[in-house]
C-alpha cells in the first residue's frame, strides 16, 4: 500500500505546488489581486481555490496516516495566501515522507474508520484508498487545476500529471 499511495500523493502535492506557482507568477505579471484569484470558485456555493488546496492536503495526510496507523496531524485550516498554501503543502509532504514504509504493511486489510457526510463508516484500507481517497483527492486537485486554468494560466495535463 505504501507504493500505491506515498509516491503518488507526493507527486500530486509537487504538481499542485508548481501549478500554484504558475498562478502566482500569472498574478504578478498582470498585477492581479492574488486574494481574488485564491477566492476563485465556479459557482457561489462552491468552496474557493484555497479550500480546494486545504482539502487536497487533508486527503493526503489523512490517507497516509490512516493506512499507516499513524495519528493524523491537525492543521489550523486558515491559509489565505500563496505562501501559506505552499507552507501547508510542504508540511503535508514532510509528514507523509516521514512515515516509515513498514507501517503500511497490512494496510490493504486494515480496518479504517472515518466520517463521511457525518456518518461513521468503516472499510478496509483498500476500499478506503480506492473508493474514498483517490476520487476525492483527484476531484479537489482537478478543481484547483481548472479554477487556475479558467483565468488563463497556461497549464495543462502535463502540469496536472507532474510531467512538466
How many separate domains does the chain show?
Answer: 1
pLDDT at residue 155, as a whole number: 95
Give the CATH number, domain containing residue 37: 1.20.120.450
Calpha distance 52→19 (Å, rounded): 13
Task: Provide the percentage of residues in the chain whose pLDDT is more than 70.
Answer: 100
pLDDT at residue 47, as a whole number: 97
Label residue 116 by pLDDT band (50, 70, 90).
confident
Query: 23 lies in a domain?
Result: yes
Query: 66 lies in a domain?
Result: yes
Count Cα neighbours of 41 within 13 Å in the Cβ-side half-sphere: 10
pLDDT at residue 110, as a whole number: 94
Q: For residue 163, is pLDDT > 90?
A: no
Query: 24 lies in a domain?
Result: yes
Count Cα neighbours of 83 within 13 Å in the Cβ-side half-sphere: 0
Contacts of 30 (CB under 8 A, 6+ apart): none
Residue 52: give the domain boundaries: 2-105+113-159
Average pLDDT over residues 6-24: 97
| pLDDT single digits (tens) 35-77 | 999 999 999 999 999 999 999 999 999 999 999 999 999 999 9
pLDDT at residue 164, as a whole number: 75
Query: 164 lies in a domain?
Result: no
Amino acid at each position: 500500500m505504501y507504493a500505491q499511495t506515498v509516491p503518488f500523493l507526493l507527486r500530486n502535492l509537487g504538481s499542485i505546488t508548481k501549478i500554484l506557482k504558475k498562478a502566482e507568477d500569472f498574478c504578478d505579471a498582470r498585477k492581479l489581486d492574488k486574494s481574488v484569484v485564491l477566492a476563485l470558485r465556479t459557482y457561489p456555493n462552491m468552496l474557493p481555490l484555497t479550500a480546494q488546496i486545504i482539502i487536497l492536503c487533508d486527503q493526503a495526510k489523512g490517507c497516509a496516516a490512516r493506512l499507516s496507523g499513524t495519528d493524523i496531524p491537525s492543521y489550523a485550516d486558515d491559509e489565505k495566501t500563496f505562501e501559506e498554501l505552499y507552507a501547508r503543502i510542504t508540511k503535508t509532504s514532510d509528514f507523509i515522507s516521514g512515515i516509515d514504509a513498514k507501517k503500511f504493511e497490512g494496510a490493504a486489510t486494515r480496518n479504517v474508520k472515518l466520517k463521511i457526510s457525518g456518518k461513521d463508516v468503516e472499510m478496509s484500507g483498500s476500499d478506503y484508498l480506492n473508493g474514498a481517497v483517490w476520487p476525492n483527492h483527484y476531484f479537489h486537485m482537478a478543481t484547483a487545476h481548472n479554477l487556475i486554468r479558467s483565468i488563463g494560466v497556461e497549464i495543462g495535463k502535463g502540469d496536472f500529471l507532474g510531467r512538466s
